[in-house]
Amino acid sequence: MDPGKSGVLPASSGPNVDPVSDHEGAVAALRGRYAAIPAGAPVRLAKSTSNLFRFRDDQPGGLDVHRFNRVLSVDREARIARVQGMTTYEDLVDATLPHGLVPLVVPQLKTITLGGAVAGLGIESSSYRNGLPHESVRELEVMTGEGAVEVVEPGDDLFRGFPNSYGTLGYALRLDIELEPVSPYVRLRHVPFGDAAECAAVVSAICAEGAYLGEPVDFVDGTVFSAGEQYLTLGDWAGAAPRTSDYTGNRVYYRSIRERRTDYLTARDYLWRWDTDWFWCSRAFGVQHPLVRRLVPKRYLRSDVYRRVVAWDRRHRFSARLGRAVEEPVIQDVEIPVDRLAEFLDFFHREIGISPVWLCPIRLRDRAGWPLYPMDPDVLYVNVGFWSSVALRPGEEVGSRNRLIEAEVTRLGGHKSLYSDSYYEEEEFWDLYDGPAYRRLKERYDPDGRLPDLYAKCVLRG
């Protein structure tokens, strides 16, 4: 791809900056900094944002990657964006929307980075037809654990093994990612269900047909408020809208799901409909109260702001000092086969009791598969997301509810994302996340173990 063709270069870089040479210079500088790290010293990225919920003690230093946060080019004809690894989806969407294009899957939170969504996982309401974000990557430039820079494509072992490696094999420096056309608006239909089994059956039918009641469906997700109240939200691109709603200020998007049967959003507002209130998690900060809402500047109604508050609270244990009942954070996204969804939700309501819960169907787009997150390409899964805390029962240890969920997900043939705390025993972990494949990649691309091991990073506390 010619990086200058139909190119988009952020104005902050200056009009005379060549994106190719600037990127190559940044890569060379990063390799030099990496080589200067003493053998045996921990290696990590110095990042200004994170969407992980494996909170660890603050560490000084880290590799400076601030030069890897730009959209290098957008090729309208080929529908490909060339993007640096630390670029946020917010910046990428701002670069592609003027061309009438967006990534095939845009994760819900603005500050998720392209490299993070590929080394970890991402999902959204287009995933039933477009799979996971890494499945639309066509080329990947990685600085490996041994300090080499590899450019890999779908047939290469590092390309296949990079998703779900969480920076333990290397860091994504540049990605070429597919784009798709957009319309100016998205029409939403909020369809209620009183029974989880019926809801799951309709999900299966919609994802097979790409339609509901004879009308097209481009996006599918769902919200579970209780065992007897769940909604599917079905979106389709629209060239015009009789009206549009705005959920970036005083109004709260998830509440509208119960209140309306049809709604319209601009394309951009649809992509970020969950970010303003971090789904529904902003209620923990009181900003959904009408009076507080009017006083808080809109620029602070963002998921990254809320996460920084949570990180501060975890570090300083402010909430714990208030004398509340002992609570266990239960922050997880799990993939459940659609025909076991009702069974999982019944378990979840009975044993965990968090609400609301998010649903998002997904089917792999690439049948070759991804060894470190081995989903069956013939199975339609539903991502179930839940993000809150649970009061522990007398005698329960912290981690017990999460461990209960992990066991149930495995029993039902599902998978769990590793962005938050995990509690697996090591043998079980490697059974679930293809230990042999991971060890082969680790030996080839990080033979000296300069980067952490996946189990140590995602499960062991430090």
Report the Cα 387 to chain-centroid distance in Å. 13
Least Cα distance to 438 among 389, 374, 382, 390 occurs for 374
Retrieve residue 285's tokens: 């900060």
Task: Give me the amino acid identity at 320.
Answer: A
The residue type at 296: V
Count of other CB atoms within 10 angstroms of residue 112: 23
The 8-class DSSP code of residue 333 comes to: E
- Euclidean distance between CA atoms 178 and 169, whole angstroms: 24
What are the E-state strand segments in 239-391?
A: 262-266, 327-337, 357-362, 381-391
pTM here? 0.92
List of residues 6+ apart from 353 with CB closer than 8 A? 390
**What is the pLDDT tens value at each position of the chain, 462 positions in all?**
544 444 554 434 555 678 889 999 999 999 999 999 888 787 877 666 665 555 555 555 578 888 999 999 999 999 999 999 999 999 999 999 999 999 999 999 999 999 999 999 999 999 999 999 999 999 999 999 999 999 999 999 999 999 999 999 999 999 999 999 999 999 999 999 999 999 999 999 999 999 999 999 999 999 999 999 999 999 999 999 999 999 999 999 999 999 999 999 999 999 999 999 999 999 989 999 999 999 999 999 999 898 888 877 667 666 655 556 678 999 999 999 999 999 999 999 999 999 999 999 999 999 999 999 999 999 999 999 999 999 988 888 989 999 999 999 999 999 999 988 899 999 999 999 999 999 999 999 999 999 999 999 999 754
- Residues forming a β-bridge with 82: 73, 176
Tell me 224's DSSP state.
E
The torsion defined by the Cα of 55, 56, 57 and 63, in degrees rounded to 10, comes to: -110
Angle at 328 between CA 324 and CA 331, to 5 degrees: 130
455 Cβ neighbours under 8 A, 6+ residues apart: 426, 429, 430
Span between the terminal Cα atoms of the chain, in Å: 43
Q: How many residues does the chain have?
A: 462
d(CA 358, CA 208): 21
| CATH code for the part of the protein at 17-181 | 3.30.465.10
- Check if the beta carbon of residue 169 is closer than 8 Å to that of residue 138: no
